[in-house]
Amino acid sequence: MLAAREMRKPLADGRAEVEKCARACDWFADHGPGMLEPEPVLTEADRTYVAYVPLGVLFAIMPWNFPYWQVMRALAPALLAGNVIVLKHAPSTTGCALLLQEVVSEARFPPDVFSVLIVAPGRTAEISEPVISDDRIAAVTLTGSTGAGRAVAAVAGGALKKSVLELGGSDPFVVLADADVESAAAWAVRSRFQNAGQSCIAAKRILVEELIVDDFAERLLRHVRELRVGDPTEPGVTIVPLRAKIFGTR
């Protein structure tokens, strides 16, 4: 409900996102320790192995479209590997960031393993540069635009900090003549309109083989008409205005 009110995410998408976060935590709890085991390597020495050690403090800059998942997919493996995280979330999902901080605290983690910076809109670059350059920060991760990625990479490179960047993409949805046209149309609509269309893996353009284009278009439009537009806090709504501002006068 908080995500629905804050960034207009439909309730069904919000529940799915939270469940995905829980599954990720379970997966890393089950598989993470094994991934961090030292790996023996055959050399001329008596004993050679690759060891995994914590980096330290990680700075995470995360977007608003998946306010829980984008944080948890970084937080779960980072904490498991012995690191701590400082989060700079999108200003439009500040409540979601603070709620995640409460969740970590209630899970009885040590104090300050997950900290949240509250940054006003338009001040991300101003705040991020001194944080990334701080000697206590070991690495930075960002999910956002190509422009933001370039800016963060430049600062991280100048400070010799490790960085992981997930930037924008525009992959096509390709439908060939031998496809299951009904299934392809249904998945095309789901891909394009999931999370009210705000997903980096959403289909940005659809390429259909000419032999089936009319059949595909008809089925696609039928599925689009089945989408429900409305308030994101109402069950069953799939398409919403993502960010709404109400202006009033006296």
- Global pTM reads 0.85
Per annotation, catalytic residue among 96, 166, 209, 218:
166
What does the alpha-carbon distance between residue 85 and residue 101 come to, in Å, rounded to a whole number?
11
Going from the N-terminus, what domains does the chain have, and what CATH number goes with each?
A: 2-166 (3.40.605.10), 172-225 (no CATH)
**Residue 218 is among the residues annotated as catalytic for this protein:** no
Using one digit for the tens of pLDDT, what is the confidence trace for 118-127?
998 888 888 8
**Residue 166 is among the residues annotated as catalytic for this protein:** yes
What is the Cα gyration radius of the chain?
A: 22
What does the alpha-carbon distance between residue 197 and residue 45 come to, in Å, rounded to a whole number?
55
Per annotation, catalytic residue among 200, 210, 218, 234:
200
Using one digit for the tens of pLDDT, what is the confidence trace for 101-143?
999 999 989 889 999 999 988 888 888 899 999 999 999 999 9
Positive or negative: CA dihedral 203, 207, 209, 215: positive
Using one digit for the tens of pLDDT, what is the confidence trace for 152-210?
999 999 999 999 999 877 778 999 999 999 999 999 999 999 888 888 888 889 999 99
The full length of the chain comes to 250
Name the β-bridge partners of 58: 85, 139
Amino acid residing at 45: A
